[in-house]
Structure 1
Amino acid sequence: MDILAYTMEELLDPTHLIEGERYEFVLEIAVDEEDELYTEGGLEIRLIVAKKGDEFSIANYFITAKAEEGLLDFALEEDEEKMILHFCQEHIITGE
């Protein structure tokens, strides 16, 4: 799995009901044709990353087939989640 492009936006909670910070990422990804996630036209992962103190976690994510704009009923593998969380964490810390 390769991340080709991304967007990041901090989600603000004017009510202050949610502890910590939340960031929305949209990742454009490419996977090998042999991967069960492979979809012609490419994939997009939309996820919410939570930051509480020095801890980061994925609060939620959705995988979308870009060509069909439909949600896919797949879950990421643990190593894929870790790789994506690390990518997002680095971009939150650097502010890029």
Structure 2
Amino acid sequence: MEITSYQVEWIRDPFQILTGKRYEFMLDLNIDEEDDLYTPNGVYIRAVYSVDGEQGKLVTYDLLEKGTDRLLEFDLEDEEEQELAEFCSQHWNEAEE
């Protein structure tokens, strides 16, 4: 999985219902034309990452088609999901609060 660009934003929780902090990632991917996930418009991931104290975890993610925002009915492979979680753990602190 090749991430070509990304944005990260802190998700405000004004009522403090959730423990810890949540961050939304928008990650553009470079997908090979031979991959089942390939679409001519391109693909991006919308991911939510949670940080509570020293612990961080990937809460959820969706694969979407660029331009249409159509949800793609695919899941990442286990190693790709781990790679996504690792990427988020390294970049969540770039969000402005």
For the criterion TM > 0.5, the same-fold answer is: yes
* Equivalent position of 2:46 in the other structure: 46
Q: Which stretches in structure 1 are left out of the alignment for 5+ residues?
A: none
Identity of counterpart residues, as a percentage?
Answer: 37
User: Separation in 2 of the partners of 1:30 and 1:67?
Assistant: 15
Q: 1:83 corresponds to which letter in structure 2?
A: E
Corresponding residue SS for 1:3? strand
User: C-alpha separation between the residues in 2 aligned to 1:57 and 1:42?
Assistant: 26
Instruction: Show the counterpart of 2:87.
Output: 87
Structure 2 residue aligned with 1:22: 22
SS in 1 for 2:71: strand
Q: Give the structure 2 partner of residue 68 of structure 1.
A: 68
TM-score, structure 1 as length reference: 0.89
SS of the residue corresponding to residue 62 of structure 1 reads strand
- Give TM-score scaled by structure 2 length: 0.88
Q: Where do 5+ consecutive residues of structure 2 fail to align?
A: none
Distance in 2, matches of 1:57 and 1:31, equals 25
Aligned residues: 95
For 2:71, the aligned partner's letter is L
2:10 corresponds to: 10
Q: Is the 8 A contact 1:40 1:67 kept in 2?
A: no
Runs of 4+, deviation exceeding 6 Å: none
Q: Determine the structure 2 residue equivalent to 1:37.
A: 37
- Bigger relative contact order, structure 1 or 2, given CA contacts below 8 A and separation 6+? 2
Q: Give the letter aligned to residue 42 of structure 2.
A: G
